[in-house]
Amino acid sequence: MSTNHYTNLLAQAEKLRRHNRQGSYKTKERYFEAYKRFLRYVGEAFRLEKIANISGKHISGYVEHMQSDFDIEAFVTKLKSAPPEKLAVLAELMKA
């Protein structure tokens, strides 16, 4: 069952999380939430059981999955509410 795969991956991630000492508490929380979404996908789609076995095919599969589920309207709404200095940084990144 894929739920067992995810819970197994999540238990491994929690062990790794305890040793993370970088970034603010909010940043760590946000990154870990994104990591949990990735682990859920990998557990369900690939039935992966060990974090150590994550490879490029898993990451590219997740990227393709996210691109297919991308909500452009939500992204534009977030952009509209972003501070101008952050939009300037985004514009510079898009030029590169």
Q: Where are the domains of the chain?
A: 2-54
pTM passes above 0.85:
no
Helices (H), the chain: 2-17, 25-45, 56-68, 72-81, 84-95
**Sign of the torsion angle spanned by Cα atoms 37, 40, 41, 46:** positive
Query: What's the mean per-residue pLDDT of the chain?
Result: 85
Res 72: pLDDT:
74
One-letter amino acid of 17: R
User: What is the C-alpha separation between 12 and 61, in angstroms, rounded?
Assistant: 21
Centroid of chain to Cα 4: 20
